[in-house]
Structure 1
């Protein structure tokens, strides 16, 4: 759940692990979601799998949230079995499909009872596009990706927050950017969907289900863990 106090200056985005910024290209971006740590973990599983014996290997992708002062972790995961030796671009496509599948289910979990009592984060306007940005930050290996997104100053970001209200009130069930026009120039405007930049459209989610390259081992697992955890897996 993003809050007003998390908003930082857009110029700090590249070197910040957490915080909320506004960009003219993607709208609000949650820097925690956009880190890509989840994608690095999934890609590392693929690299390990390729080096192991056997014709296939399993890859698990998950997203989670913590509560009760980090004493409880709740999340969603899926496990797919991959055939060894798949082309690089195909593994990228598989990774994107796994992320998108879990991200939608996880946002749905956050928006369901009883979690919706404590948070407005389910399908919050910035979440899915921030997940997608994290994916491409890892896969594209671009330096200072935020320079392509036109981040604004903290002052300008706060102006949008105060005019339109908290981002959690604006729901977005797609991976498209939700843009909030500058209220100083467009005082009567409402948020609208924008277009992803070209570098965030280069990979297509995997959908070749009739092939034998991928098998779904665990299609939809929910989990609860007790004990101290990290803010997001």
Structure 2
């Protein structure tokens, strides 16, 4: 759940790649939640795939999940796929992307409908899915993306927030960026609109070849709840 107080100015930080939280506005992707864009979940899951490939087993089971927490209570959604050993790095990235797309949509829908919707407006909040996708690319194709994404100053970001209202009020059920024109610009319509993903966030296709015997879906969108260290699936 993003708030006005989360908005930061990337130019004030020596290495934006090390930031683990905060909200920025960029001209290419719109609002970006730096927490969603960390890619820690992607990195951890790809490491598990590497371990599976290095094992002697012909198949390995991978679970990918997204969670939210309120106090000691956590809840979320997960997918669990059995993957046949022998996948190239490109195939692993493609599989990971497919797992992300499926889980992220299920998780955002869970936030919208679950008992925690009183606590957060984050279900399909305008910045969430595109930030998840950026986190994926920051892991599989690491480089400094910030200059290309054209982040604006904190002042310019605050102008948008104050003019349009909280980003959580604008729902985006796709991984296409939702853009908010600068209210100071003249001769344009001051209303949010869908942009386009930059080319460097369209270089990997999600896995779809479920009939070729390399991936077996065990759970499509499981529910996971945690109370302290207790997990109920």
TM-score by length of 2: 0.94
Q: Tell me, in whole angstroms, the C-alpha distance in 1 between the residues paired with 2:114 and 2:224.
A: 15
Q: Does 1:182 align with 2:182?
A: yes
The Cα of 1:114 is off from its aligned counterpart by: 2.2
Residue 217 of structure 1 deviates from its aligned partner by 1.3
Where 2:222 maps in the other structure, the secondary structure is: strand
Q: Deviations for 1:124-145, whole angstroms, at most 9, x for unmatched residues?
A: 0000000000000001111x21
Match of 2:208 in 1: 207
| 1:118 Cα offset (Å) | 1.6
Structure 2: runs of 5+ lacking an equivalent: none
Q: Is the 8 A contact 1:10 1:22 kept in 2?
A: no
Q: What corresponds to 2:111 in structure 1?
A: 110
8 Å contact from structure 1 (residues 24, 149) kept in 2: yes
Query: Cα distance, 1:59 vs. partner?
Result: 0.7
CA deviations 1:100-141 (Å, max 9, x no partner) are 100000000000142222211000000000000000000111
- In structure 2, C-alpha distance between the alignment counterparts of 1:22 and 1:42, rounded to whole Å: 28
1:26 to 25, 29, 51: 29
Match of 1:48 among 47, 51, 71: 51
For residues 202 and 210 of structure 2, what CA distance do their matches in structure 1 show? Answer: 21
- Say whether residues 1:148 and 2:155 are aligned partners: no
What is the rounded CA distance, in whole Å, between the counterparts of 1:136 and 1:145 in structure 2? 9
Report the secondary structure of 1:111's partner residue: helix
Given that 1:72 and 1:228 are in contact with CA atoms closer than 8 Å, whether structure 2 keeps it comes out as no
TM-score (norm 1): 0.94
Q: Which moved more, 1:113-122 or 1:54-63?
A: 113-122
Q: CA-to-partner distance for each residue in 1:27-61, whole Å, 9 max, x for gaps?
A: 00000000000100110110110111111101110
Instruction: Note closer, same or farther for the CA distance 1:149–1:228 as it changes in structure 2 (3 Å cut).
Output: farther
* Cα separation, 2, equivalents of 1:2 and 1:10: 17
Cα offset for 1:228? 7.5
Distance 1:24 1:196 in 2: 11
Q: Which whole-Å CA distance do the structure 2 matches of 1:228 and 1:125 have between them?
A: 31
Q: What's the CA shift for 1:165?
A: 0.3
The answer (yes or no) to whether the contact 2:8–2:154 under 8 Å persists in 1 is: yes
Question: More relative contact order in 1 or in 2 (CA 8 Å, sep 6+)?
Answer: 1
Shift of 1:188: 4.2
5+ residue gaps, structure 1:
none
In structure 2, distance between residues paired with 1:140 and 1:225: 32
Is 1:14 paired with 2:17?
A: yes
With 79-88 and 57-66 compared, the bigger mean Cα shift is at 79-88
Q: Is structure 2 residue 142 aligned with structure 1 residue 130?
A: no
Match status 1:196 vs 2:204:
no
Q: Could you say if the C-alpha distance between residues 183 and 222 of structure 1 is closer, same or farther in structure 2, counting changes exceeding 3 Å?
A: same
